[in-house]
Every structure is written in C-alpha cells, then in structure tokens.
Chain A
Amino acid sequence: MNDKNRKYWRILRTVAIVLCILVFTPLIIPEGVYKPELLGIPYSLWTSFLITVALVVITYLGTRVHRSNEEEEVEP
C-alpha cells in the first residue's frame, strides 16, 4: 500500500469507527423519541439506515485503497 492509499485507508477506518460509535449515542438512539421523521420514517430508523448505507459506501471506497491489488502478499 503506498503512502497515499495508507492515508486514505486510515481516514476511512476512522470514519467507520466514528459512525459505529455514533449509533450507540442519544444522537441516533434518543430514548423514546421518534421525531423528526423523514418521509414518515421514524428518526432512529432513517438515521441508522443512512449510517448503514454510509458503511457500505466506505467499504467500497476501502476496496479501492486497501491491499486488494497486492495479491496475497505477506507483509513482514
């Protein structure tokens, strides 16, 4: 992995971890609260849906910078 890709991978990793942590906070799961709704969807559902989509997108971006091109190379 070159330096640029290594940097992007670190950023993606940090974003993924931050998104996962956010899910456990009242920002995403306020107790007993279901508003504001988006297109009629309760708050925790639409926010967590967006986070799931973001995680999949980040995974895709990860495939672009992680070591998939270094076919099975063993790093020391």
Chain B
Amino acid sequence: MKTWILILGIIYVGLLVTASLRSYKKGRSVEDFMLAGSNIGIILGVLTYAAALFSTFTFLGMPDFFRRHGIGAWIFLAVSDGAMVFFILWFGYHIRNKVKQLGFRGVAGMISNCYGNRWAGYTIFLTAFLFLIPYVGIQIQGIAIFMGAAFPNFIPSWGWAVSIVVVMLIYSEIGGLKAIVYSDAIQGVLLLTVLWIIGYNCLSEFGGIAAMFDKIEVDHVALLSTPGPEGLFTPQFFIASMIAIVMIPVTQPQLTTRLVVMKSMKSMHLMAVAVGAFAILVITPTIFIGMYGASFLKDSLDGMSVAQQAGSFFEEVFLYRQPGFVAALALVGLIAAGLSTTNAQIFALGSELRGLLNMDENKVMRITKIGIFIFAVIALAFSEVIKDQIALLARVSFAGTALMGPMILLGILSDRKVPTFIIWASFAGLMIFLLSLGGVIANRVIGVRLDLFLFLCLSLVAILSYLLGKKELQLAR
C-alpha cells in the first residue's frame, strides 16, 4: 500500500503544483486572487461547489452516520441537499443581482453595506469564525489520524497536521481562489471515484442491495427505519437539519462565494442541478459502506467509545480491507477532501475579513493574507484539542451559521431601509446557541430544539423588521 500511496501522492502533489502555477498571474488584482476573476464555468463550478460542500464530512462522517443511525441519514443529507439546490435557483438570482449593485467583498462586507451598519458584518464574521474553525480543525485531525494509521511511528499526528496546513497555505498563496477551485475539482472526482469503488466492494460482500438489507434486518433491524437505534432521527431533527442545510449557500461564505463567482446566471442554475445529481451519486455509496460496518464490523467495534469506533471503522473499511491501490487512493482522496474543504473555509474567512477592512487595497490584501495564515494556525491548534463526531460537528456548524440566515436574507432581499434590530437579535441568538453548546442553558425550549426555535424567532424578527421598514418609509413621506 505504501508504494501506491507514494505514487498517487506524487501525482496528486503534481496536480496541485500545476493548478497553483496555472492560476498564478503576475500583477494580479485582489479580485483575481480572492474571486478567481468571477469567471468559473459549469464543470469547475459543480466540482468546486460539491467539493466544498461534501469533503471529509461525506467521506468520514456519512458512512459512520449510516452505520450508527441507519437509513434516516439519507433524509438528513440527501433530501436536504435536494431542497438546497432548488433554493439555489431563487437565492442565487437575488444574491447575484445584489452583488451587481453593491459589489462583493465577502458576505459580511456586503451585508454591512445592505444595512449601513458594520455590526451586521462583525456578527456574520464572528459566527463564521466560531463555527468554521472547529469544523476545519476536526478535518485536519481526521487526516492526521489516518496518515498516522497508514505510516505508524513515522511522524507524530501533529506533524501530519502541520504538513497539511503548510501545503494548503503555500498553494492558496500562490494560486488564490482559482487554485482552490482547481484542487476542488481534483477532489470532487477523487471523492466520487473512491466512494464508489469502496461502496461497490462493500456491497459485493453482501451480494447485492436486497441481500444487504436482509442481513441488516437480522443484525440490526433498527437501522432500517427512523428514528434509528439511538432515536436521533426525529421529525424535529430532520426539520432543523433541512433548514440548516438549505441555509448553507446563504450563511457559509465559502459556498456563497462559489455562487457569486460563476460566469453567468445560467451556469449557476445548471450548476445547482448538477450539484443535486452529484449529491445523490456521492451519498449512495456511503449507505453501502455504513451498512458494511454495521454488519461485518459489529463485533469488532463493540465495547469501543464512539470516537474510537469511528476511527477503527474507517481504518478497517477504507484501508485494511481494501486492495493496496484502493486503500492508497482512499487515503489520497481523504487528504484531497480535507485539504480542499479546509482551504475553502480558511480562504472564505480571509475573504470575510477583507470585506470588513476599509483601506488601501494593497494593505487589505496583505492583512487578508496574514488573516488566512492566523486562521490556519488557530484551526491547527483546534485540531489537537477537538474530539467529536464529524457528522454531528458538521451539523452544529451548519446550524450555527444558519442563525445568520434571516438577517442575511433580509439584507439581500429588502428593497427598503429596515431597522437594525435584526442585527442585535441575531447576535443574541448566536450567544444563546453558544451557551447551549457549552451546556450552560438547555438545548430545548418548550419541547422544541433550540436551534430550530432560534431560527424561527429570528425569521419572525426579520419579517417584523421588514414590515417596520415599510412603516418608517411611509412616515418619512
């Protein structure tokens, strides 16, 4: 396997270097560096959006989610993604029009302009920072752990983590967003290929789809229906998850940016359809992998902690029980997935920071690059301390950033001056959600999940703000 890792690793690094150099332009503008010249075509658009969306979370998280919680994981992600791509048609149109009016220097900067209030931008930036950094951290940690498994006693896990961050910083510094888009494209293809090869191998062990579910019926019948063995998949969980996922293009800046940098409205629309098809293609094999773990690894994983089970499951299914070439491809695919998502998120944070700066462009570019470096270092530090389940952490990340959805949507859609109360309400919502994550306050209000409750309250505030905005204008007249 090590020889294959070396060969495939060299090919992957070669592709990254080519992508960086191809993207490098002497004397490029800040727009070229941060927004790839806003000229991304449909194929690159699909792959970069899909790679930023799926990544390590799909690679590691979804098979484990199917293994532990059963078939409801499909509704959690695939149905929600289906709703999200439909939402992109509508939202993409409005945000691109707004960008045409106001320009685009990150979501935070644009929403500050919409409200004429910098605190709107600060709140969005703070939310993105708080919820993206831990998510980035756990992806770096995931890669480091599996590199450690493939090369035991070679270098410590933090050494792998540092290497990943250094590579990421170098190629994003050379190529900017364009290089990240190219690396996303490589990752998108790798992700799909690896998941289908391993998914097919897992399915073959059962002897087919019907045989797979027949065996699961005997081994762990609760996986075949909702709410699943641990009772996770309740209607409320699905509703809150769907809202959080549908809000991703609005509230996760790395994905909003990808809607904005598409060459045209038409290519963005077609990109949405293709991302929906990609979602079905990429999530389907994770069912087979998850069910394989639930059935063939049931006994060997018993007695381990949840985190140990996830690690051991991945090592067994992706590395030890595959032919050398496939295992090496899986490892390189995992590195690619982690690198591109990490890069997209860190770069988006840099882009958001840029939107909040108001000074000479050269200085802005310098500060943004320093910001990207600092965010990467903080994510690296987090990767050493966070131990959590990646799928649930991703969901928390989506839910946390979704709280900004009503404020962002109101800012983009409103054609009138609205009161700024929504900004303070969103900030308060963020603080309450953080307190619940810290266990300081309950995570349910009158039986409703707190994230769902907060989102509904903020949506109500946004509607009221809109109506009050109308009143103010009428009074002014």
Interface residues in chain A, defined as those with a beta carbon under 8 Å from any beta carbon in chain B: 13, 16, 20, 23-25, 28-34, 37, 39-45, 48-49, 51-56, 58-60, 62-63, 66-76
For the A-B complex, the count of residue pairs with Cβ-Cβ distances under 8 Å equals: 140
Q: In whole angstroms, how far apart are the Cα atoms of A68 and B269 in the complex?
A: 7
Q: Would you call B79 and A51 a contact (CB within 8 A)?
A: yes
Query: Are A56 and B270 in touch, CB under 8 angstroms?
Result: no
Q: 14 A-B Cβ contacts within 8 A?
A: A23-B242, A24-B235, A24-B239, A31-B225, A40-B208, A53-B280, A55-B85, A56-B280, A58-B86, A59-B86, A60-B273, A63-B266, A66-B269, A68-B269
Cβ A48 vs Cβ B235 within 8 A: no
Is the CB–CB distance between A40 and B225 below 8 Å?
no
**Residues in chain A near residue B312, CB distance under 8 A:** none
Does the CB pair B213–A37 fall under 8 Å?
yes
Closest residue of B by beta carbon distance from A16: B86
Given A24-B239, A55-B85 in contact, is the A44-B79 Cβ separation under 8 Å?
A: no
B265, A29: Cβ atoms closer than 8 Å: no
Residues of B within 8 A of A25 (CB): 235
Residue of A nearest to B216 (CB): A42
Q: Would you call B398 an interface residue if the criterion is a C-beta within 8 Å of the partner chain's C-beta atoms?
A: no
Contact A40 B226 (CB under 8 A): no
| B175 at interface, CB cutoff 8 A | no
B83 at the interface (CB under 8 A from A): yes
Contact B100 A40 (CB under 8 A): no
Tell me which of A44, A45, A51, A66 contacts B82 (CB under 8 A). A51
B210 and A40 contacting across the interface, CB-CB below 8 Å: yes
A63–B272 Cα distance when bound, in Å, is 9
Give B81's nearest chain A residue, CB to CB: A52
Instruction: Give me the 8 closest cross-chain CB pairs, A-B, nearest first.
Output: A40-B210, A55-B82, A56-B276, A34-B224, A63-B269, A45-B71, A42-B224, A52-B82
B89 touches A63 (CB 8 A): yes
B-side interface size class: 35 or more
Contact B272 A44 (CB under 8 A): no
Residue among B75, B82, B96, B276 with the most chain A CB within 10 A? B82
Min CB gap A40→B, angstroms: 3
Asked if B277 is at the interface (CB within 8 A of a chain A CB), the reply is yes
Given known pairs A34-B225, A74-B101, the reply for A40 and B214 (CB within 8 Å) is yes
- Tell yes or no: B97 within 8 A of A by CB: yes
Contact present for B79 and A56 (CB under 8 Å):
no
A contact residues around B265 at 8 Å (CB): 67-68, 70-72
Inter-chain contact B238/A45, CB cutoff 8 Å: no
Question: Are the C-beta atoms of A44 and B83 separated by less than 8 Å?
Answer: no
Indicate which residue in A23, A40, A56 contacts B85 across the interface (CB closer than 8 Å): A56
- State A73–B101 Cα separation when bound (angstroms): 10
How far apart are the CA atoms of A48 and B86 in the complex, in Å?
16
Contact with A along B72-90 (1 / 0, CB 8 A): 1011001101110110111
Is A48 in contact with B74, judged by CB distance below 8 angstroms? yes
B18 within 8 Å of A (CB atoms): no
**Shortest distance in angstroms between A58's beta carbon and chain B's nearest beta carbon?**
6
Q: Give the chain B neighbours of A44 by CB distance below 8 A.
A: 71-72, 75, 225-226
Q: What would 10 more interface pairs be, CB under 8 Å, given A23-B238, A59-B86?
A: A16-B86, A23-B79, A29-B233, A34-B224, A54-B82, A55-B79, A56-B85, A59-B276, A69-B266, A74-B100
Bound-state CA distance A33–B227 (Å) is 10
Does residue B209 face the partner (Cβ distance < 8 Å to A)? yes
Contact between A55 and B75, CB atoms less than 8 A apart = no
Q: Which residues of the other chain, A, contact B224 by a CB distance below 8 angstroms? A: 34, 42, 45
A34 surroundings in chain B (CB, below 8 A): 71, 217, 221, 224-225
How many whole Å from A29's CB to the nearest CB in chain B? 4
Q: A72 vs B93: C-alpha distance in the bound complex, in angstroms?
A: 7
Whether B264 is near chain A, meaning CB under 8 Å from some CB there, is yes
Residues from chain A with Cβ under 8 Å of B386 in the complex:
none
